[in-house]
Structure 1
Amino acid sequence: MPGREYRGRKNFLRRLTRDIWRPGFAMLTAEAPDLVGYAFGFPVPRDGSWWSGFRGTLPKDVEQLTASGQAFAISGMVVRPSERHQGLADRLQERLLADHRALLGATLVDRTHRAACAGFESRGWLNIGLVYRPPGPAVLRALVLPHGEPTAAEPSW
């Protein structure tokens, strides 16, 4: 489809520009020797606004970790196809979460992007439900990744 690559790049740049201004923004790159991957994100706001539009009841553990400032959103990740089976995505997300002492990773993925959803789930991310975001009929799949030491009880998700 003509222009698809341009629109994808334009959407990426819009998302990156928005996220750079969020408090605590962080980006990691991997080089070997050229760029082979990157991941970026920011701490999930404690006020719960990240989960705005969530359908149903947010799992209690997710709500608690968000309110305590121990959740980190991974809002962008790309790994060169030749590196995808080398564990690079896992190392990038692990490093972002560890650097921010997060006990929970969070991401929102377009629910129609099956490959992205499957990729996250194959790396241990758990699907906890759907988030509806304006404008238009944006429906996102909410995925979380428990990380580090568990809270007092086993996660409820």
Structure 2
Amino acid sequence: MLLSLSISGVPFVGADVGGFFGNPDEQLLTRWYEAAAFQPFFRAHAHIDTKRREPWLFSRPTMEAIRQAIRRRYALLPYWYALFREHALTGAPPMRPIWFEFPKEQKFFDYEKAWMVGNALLVHPVVEKDTYSVNVDLPAGEQSVSSCSM
């Protein structure tokens, strides 16, 4: 849904970190933060009847992983601002489907769990419980300069 909104002219999109309903375990909450750090709208938000989710309420390793995701988000703020300026001038969405940058690559037309942040960052977060890595298809001729392991 975020990618659909983004390419439809609604650029300031993001999921409620942790989901709006329910109580994610520490591992999945961490994954939410890691993924959301690469979405335009970044906030921890939930229904009033869910358990409190402030990072300091969890174990130290979880709190540190969430802190790292938040720091990564803050490190990207200048890039986000540049992308929103680009959107204002050209309409290009800050968060975009991979095919937006690589329209000749048919395999990316069905990707929903990976996206581009601008034209420079390909994001494919780990979102499955008890999964610690994902295989990432790169566009033809592209090389991974750096990988981010949170």
Instruction: State TM-score, norm by structure 2.
Output: 0.28
Instruction: Return the structure number with greater relative CO, CA threshold 8 A, min gap 6.
Output: 2
**Bigger helix share:** 2
Instruction: State TM-score, norm by structure 1.
Output: 0.27
